[in-house]
Amino acid sequence: MSDQAQTATQPSFFNLHVEGVGYLNRVRTVKPKKGQEFLACTVSAMRGSTADLGYTKFDCKVSGAEAQKIVKLLELDVADEKPVLIGFRIGDIYPEIFTFEKGDKKGQQGVSIKGRLLRVKFAKVNGEAVDLPQPAQVSETESVAA
């Protein structure tokens, strides 16, 4: 098969990644009525000047074995309401409109930014660095043999 024909049959994707530093919150297992359960979290990403810090919240499905291991490792610290700061990469973000069901905003519409937490680069709990599992890397000899 020619390179051109092979390229035409392979799916193409456009990747949209957001990288930054923020706080890990609301780690939970989501059990939808249909489909498989999944690990989810919220990341409050920091933006702007340190003198006038702002936050953008991302509601994420945790994707990838390494990211899932790390989020599960940090889950108890989040549940204990300790500040868990992470370096992250989130992909495939999109807005989703919802209606508040409780509280002062009940009945009003809001917007949630959804995405997939792809990678956790570092983590600190109460300002202390956490040793994270290192991503599995393919050795040079393994990649040549493939």
Per-residue pLDDT of 82-116, as tens digits, reads: 999 999 999 999 999 999 999 999 999 999 999 99
Confidence at residue 10, expressed as pLDDT on a 0 to 100 scale: 78
67 and 61 Cβ atoms separated by less than 8 Å: no
Beta strands in the chain (DSSP E): 17-30, 38-47, 54-62, 84-99, 109-125, 128-129
Give the distance between the most distant pair of CA atoms in the chain.
62
Confidence at residue 135, expressed as pLDDT on a 0 to 100 scale: 66
Confidence at residue 120, expressed as pLDDT on a 0 to 100 scale: 96
How does residue 136 score in pLDDT terms, banded at 50, 70 and 90? low
Per-residue pLDDT of 20-31, as tens digits, reads: 999 999 999 999
Domain residue spans in the chain?
17-129
- Top CATH class of 17-129 equals mainly beta
In degrees rounded to 5, what are phi and psi of residue 68? -65, -45
